[in-house]
Amino acid sequence: MAREPFNRASPERISPGDPVRTCIGCRQRASKRELLRVTAGSDTHGHPAVVPDPDGTAPGRGAHLHPTAECYELAVRRKAFARALRQQSGAGGGLSSAPVQAWLDSQP
């Protein structure tokens, strides 16, 4: 029977009451305000796609991601968008995340 040490990891710099979400890229938890919300929507051609929701106002299921190229790439490699948004889009995740990449590219 292993006794669990009461080991507190370095305290996070998250103020109490701040909503915390997990980044689907790096899997780190962060304040919701630091993350970009994405939802399942459609691209400019009407195809199913992951679209950024920087205001956090779009209805439906959302996922959260650090607005960085690193976390975006991780999420793409893990197919985390499709998993997080529960998209059963036929041939194993045909959900395009190009709109998110375009949004990231447009950021300063």
28 contacts 22 by C-beta, under 8 angstroms: yes
- Closer by beta carbon to Zn ion, 10 or else 44: 10
Q: Can you tell me the distance from the alpha carbon of 47 to that of 19, in angstroms, rounded to the nearest whole number?
A: 31
Of 63, 60, 103, 94, which is closest to residue 80 (Cα–Cα)?
A: 63
In the bound complex, what is the minimum distance in angstroms from residue 37's beta carbon to Zn ion? Answer: 13
- DSSP letter at 82 equals H
- The correct pick among 38, 66, 75, 95 for binding Zn ion (CB under 5 A) is 66
Q: Is 80 in the site for Zn ion (CB under 5 A)?
A: no
- Kindly tell me which of 23 and 95 has the beta carbon lying closer to Zn ion: 23
Query: Where along the sequence are the contacts to Zn ion (CB under 5 A)?
Result: 23, 25-26, 66, 71
